A and B are shown apart, each in its own frame.
Chain A
Amino acid sequence: KNEVEQSPQNLTAQEGEFITINCSYSVGISALHWLQQHPGGGIVSLFMLSSGKKKHGRLIATINIQEKHSSLHITASHPRDSAVYICAVRTSGTYKYIFGTGTRLKVLA
């Protein structure tokens, strides 16, 4: 069992839909990051969370430390949101990051 698991692995949505991507982890963490990776492109950091909720534009990220779970929400999705979204955790007491395998999102016009 992977220490960081994401669901779904693949997601196709129609433009305008509300999207949720989930991340569950089984290790103690000091922070959780949500990242975006476009095909053939680099990785961009979207959010960094240690508790609660953060919002940036149409993106919202939440984390529940007790349940070891985080969600990334995209409101009013758009084709330009099509990318791979990756959850990464920094394990407590270390400098090591563990990444999920990513959720491949495709938003259709």
Chain B
Amino acid sequence: GAGVSQSPRYKVAKRGQDVALRCDPISGHVSLFWYQQALGQGPEFLTYFQNEAQLDKSGLPSDRFFAERPEGSVSTLKIQRTQQEDSAVYLCASSLGRRSNYEQYFGPGTRLTVT
């Protein structure tokens, strides 16, 4: 079956541009996570959705970052007025349930380079 997909896989943006990154979770998965992974580092939590509700956005680094999941399936992470420090791989993961004992399935990531 299909796993988690993300698009685009690679994005180059000029500083100041807005970008939108898409995540298609596994069908029926309730939980959706966004993470940011800088080169050589572990992922860092950005935000969490349970169905369409954004229950935790404590990891979003600034108000330039915005995420949504309006129908409880596809999610979009938007970054406004991109800065060079936004360059990273953005990972999406989904899991079947709400509780922590459900396995997370990761997408391949979107590599964002801000020039």
Contact = CB atoms under 8 A, between A and B. Distances in A.
A48 B45 contact: no
Interface residues of B, number: 27
A35 B43 CA distance: 11
A50 interface: yes
Interface in A89-109: 90, 94-102
B100 A90 contact: yes
Contacts of B104: 33, 45
A101 B55 contact: no
Contacts of B44: 99
A74 interface: no
A39 to B, nearest CB: 12
B91 interface: yes
B59 interface: yes
A45 B56 contact: no
A35 B101 CA distance: 14
Contacts of B108: 41-42
B103 A98 contact: no
A30 B106 contact: no
Contacts of A94: 56
B45 A97 contact: yes
Nearest to A87: B42
A76 interface: no
Contacts of B43: 43, 86, 88, 97, 99
The 9 closest A-B pairs by CB, nearest first: A99-B42, A31-B100, A95-B48, A43-B106, A30-B100, A90-B100, A95-B56, A42-B108, A101-B42
Interface of A: 4, 30-31, 33, 35, 41-45, 48, 50, 86, 88, 90, 94-102
Given A30-B99, A42-B109, A97-B33, 14 more contacts: A33-B104, A42-B107, A43-B91, A45-B105, A45-B106, A48-B102, A88-B43, A95-B55, A96-B45, A96-B48, A97-B35, A99-B42, A100-B42, A102-B42
